Amino acid sequence: MMIIFWLGAAFLIYYLYQNGSFNTSARKNPEALLKERFVNGEIDEATYLQMKETLKG
């Protein structure tokens, strides 16, 4: 009986991981993600400001 419990728990963890439930970036708001991209150098300042204005729109 315990084996069934542990197999079920393992399946649940696997399912949640595959569906992105443990993905922390999915919980961030768009402005935070945009700022993170700017800080990481993925986008330049002009693009950052333009996208920030679009989000406020």
Which residue ranges make up each domain of the chain? 25-57
**pLDDT attached to residue 17:** 78
Q: Which residue has the higher pLDDT, 16 or 23?
A: 16
pTM summary value: 0.52
Place of tokens 């399946």: 11
For residues 36 and 30, is the Cβ–Cβ distance under 8 A?
Answer: no
Q: The tokens of 35 are what?
A: 């700022």
Tell me the pLDDT tens digit for each residue of 17-32.
Answer: 777 656 555 567 899 8
Tell me the pLDDT tens digit for each residue of 34-56.
Answer: 999 999 999 999 999 999 999 99
**pLDDT attached to residue 7:** 92
Judged on CB neighbours under 10 Å (0-12, 13-18, 19+), 42 is exposed
